[in-house]
Amino acid sequence: MNAMKELEVPKKNIFVDKQSGKDFNRPMYQKLLKKLREEDLVYIKSIDRLGRDYEEILNQWRVLTREKKVDIVVLDMPLLDTRRGKDFLGTFIADLVLQLLSFIAENERKNIKQRQREGIEAARLRGVKFGRPPKPLPDNFEQLYHKWLAKELSATEIARQCDFTSATFYNKAKKLQEKQ
């Protein structure tokens, strides 16, 4: 947003998706595509915002530059500015740089995922627990559990008393049963 403000792009012309970029079925990106007209100018902060992998980046670049016939400026890579060098050599250089950077972006994404997997595995080996901490059992849970087994109380009633969801109650009941 700061980069767009510095370029004085009107707020109504800024499209930001909050969800993951796993594909291009993102609402704001689709809205941008519908709004674009020939010779419009699209600013992109970084080339990897166009896609997750090499093929996707090249495909979106093609959609924008060839099908929509808009110019693109990649802010963190000034060589990728389709307004300049619209002759054959300029287009060739821009395409070459785009392919190189797309390859690098995909490689970096793969490396990040690999390092993330390795970090998670190392943390697990150190005993780090992921996710929400388990809700503690109330002191009288075992008594309530036996009342549930005897059909004196429903699972819903016990879950409410324990401030659990029904699913949490059933999970805790299963663990208690396994322990006994």
41 three-state secondary structure: strand
Residue-wise pLDDT tens digits, 99-148: 887 788 788 888 889 999 999 999 999 999 899 888 889 999 999 999 99
CA geometry: angle at 77 spanning 73 and 78, to 5°? Answer: 60
Asked if the model's pLDDT at residue 52 lies above 80, the reply is no
Q: What element of type H or E holds 42?
A: strand 41-44
Query: Cα separation of 82 and 32, whole Å?
Result: 18
How far is residue 141's CA from residue 170's CA, in Å, rounded to a whole number?
12
pTM: 0.55
